[in-house]
Amino acid sequence: MKSFAIVIPCYNEANRFQTERFKAFLKNRNGVVLFFVDDGSTDTTSSLIKALKSVFPEQVQSIIHLKNKGKAEAVRTGINEAFKRKDIERFAFLDADLSTSLEECFEIADKIDTHKAFVFGSRIKKLDNNIQRKKYRFIIGRVIATLISYMLKLPIYDSQCGCKVFRRDWVGIIFKDVFISPWLFDVEIFFRLIRHFGREKIQTKIEEVPLKEWVDTDDSKVSLLYGFKVWFDLIKIYVHYK
């Protein structure tokens, strides 16, 4: 695999920053660079990233937002910074809690080729995988995901999974402009691709991959208040991109 960048947005992640898992992953993967974006954390997140970078100076990059800008802008900042590296051909973003493992993200990136430009994980529960989600999150998530699929007019099961991988030539199309929503930017990614390529073509260029494992964490960064605001964001996104 050519050089691969994984962007990891972080906001007050000190209590669940899994240093040893990051170390174990990077140890035998010289072609992988982790771009951590500290999105205005007020705890010791930046210190933990700095300590990891001291061990892997070539494979860990740190970007700091002085103020919290939201996950969407943290991801966009990280992807655009990684894009400056001409040797990187594949780009991903992944949740800092590692609900999807680094190893599985790496495996998914292997599916990127001349035919597939965008591959994303999907939390489909099957007999042969381990998908552990809180019941209330699953129910609310399914309602939202079904509505999003209807809005996009694409047969996507899980647009909101936090593991997505892109080919280099698609980065500018997706991440050039600021997103409307701080948390529902995944929906905007699909709308931007539809606008650029058309629905028919992108269905031949993207692939939804059932994850082998996903384990919900207790410390969600999405506030209850935003749970109500999400419906207004969906309306804004739909009106903007239709």
- Distance, CA of 15 to CA of 43 (rounded, Å): 9
- Distance, CA of 224 to CA of 230 (rounded, Å): 10
Classify residue 73 as left (phi > 0), alpha (psi -120 to 50) or beta.
Answer: alpha
Count of CB atoms within 10 A of residue 34's CB?
25
What percent of the chain is helix, strand and coil (3-state, nearest 5)? 45, 20, 35
pLDDT at position 175: 98
The alpha carbon of residue 154 and the mean position of all alpha carbons in its chain are separated, in whole angstroms, by: 19
How many structural domains comprise the chain?
1
pLDDT at position 217: 80
What range defines the domain where residue 216 resides?
3-241
DSSP state of 205: H
pLDDT at position 220: 60
- Distance, CA of 172 to CA of 237 (rounded, Å): 19
The tokens of 25 are what?
A: 């992953």
DSSP-based three-state secondary structure for 108: helix
pLDDT along the chain (242 residues), means of 10: 90 97 96 98 98 98 98 99 98 97 97 97 94 87 93 96 97 98 96 98 97 82 65 95 90
- Distance, CA of 117 to CA of 168 (rounded, Å): 8
Cβ-Cβ contacts under 8 Å for 230 (sequence gap 6 or more):
144, 183, 184
pLDDT at position 138: 86
Compute the CA torsion angle 138, 142, 145, 149 (nearest 10 deg): 150
pLDDT at position 2: 65
What is the side-by-side order of every strand in the sheet holding 32-39?
A: 60-65, 32-39, 3-10, 88-94, 163-167, 118-122, 206-210
CA-atom Rg of the chain in angstroms: 17
The tokens of 86 are what?
A: 């001409």
- Distance, CA of 87 to CA of 46 (rounded, Å): 26
- Distance, CA of 88 to CA of 122 (rounded, Å): 24
Q: In this structure, are strands 130-132 and 206-210 parallel, antiparallel, or unpaired?
A: unpaired
- Find tokens 């997103």 and name the residue: 179
What CATH number is attached to the domain comprising 35?
3.90.550.10
pLDDT at position 46: 98
